[in-house]
Structure 1
Amino acid sequence: MESSRWTAGLLLIVTFALGLSIGFIVHSQLFTSGDGRRPQGGPGGPNIGREGLIPPPLRERINEKLDLTPEQREEFDRIFEDHRRQTMVLRRDIIQPQQQTLTDSLRARTERLLSPEQMRRFRAFRQSYRQGQFRGPPRGRPGGPPDRFGE
């Protein structure tokens, strides 16, 4: 009896590790660019807006790598669009309300800590930060990018 418990436990651990490994490999092959970096995107992740979860250049790369038929391409797009919709609902219904609760808690704790004058200054600081006054100079080379002909 003790032996079967160990076997079952070991099988569970091996199955979990195998699933984790396969998930990592599939993710790294499908959702990174050729140089190993993730595709760029906005606050919702890699182009999770109008173009869906997978940006068109990456979608074409997947189609080429997997040699998908037109029917498979359509179904692949439907699957990812369904996932995108479900993710947006999850964010709207669960994550955003929880994040708002955390923000409200932060605000309440901050108000208890600071004096009314400090709180007034803190709010002014936050407002000016949101307007971009503390972001510093733009990144990159001084004078902007070089022109195309090296002049």
Structure 2
Amino acid sequence: MSIHDIPVTTITGEETTLADFKGKVLLIVNTASACGLTPQYKGLQELYERYQDRGFVVLGFPCNQFAQQEPGTADEIAAFCERNYGVTFPLFAKIDVNGPDAHPLYQYLKSHAPEGEDQEIEWNFAKFLVDGAGMVVQRIDPRVKPEELTALIEEYLPAG
């Protein structure tokens, strides 16, 4: 199974897969609206705007597993992100990233991260960089700010 085959649900409730993102470089992030790291939404949106024309997409997966910092409904989460950070990158339905109910996407990401990093997600805004072929190329600590990722992202994008 490829990462692109994994079923996901959009923030608006549509069942789909990541197949629409084949060939694109992905930054997959577990997000939260009431976290000290929530301002990272701004940097994630800036990365998306800067590189989307070169085949880069940020995918946000809200998660309420860390100190209940994402308590809202899908509509509340989407409105918060748009109103406060102008988010236009794809958001998905709230999921679990750890434990017995961890979403299959996060099971895949954790088990396919380089250097055997099959470990629990430590906090909101943990990031995974996936190359255009669908390979998980890097797991990135939640405290790493999006703006610190430009050189890494550019390594995987076509020249432009």
User: Which bin holds the TM-score, normalised by the shorter protein?
Assistant: under 0.3
Q: Which has the higher helix share?
A: 1
Larger radius of gyration: 1
Per the normalisation by structure 1, the TM-score is 0.20
Per the normalisation by structure 2, the TM-score is 0.19
- Between the two structures, name the one with larger relative contact order (CA 8 Å, sep ≥ 6): 2
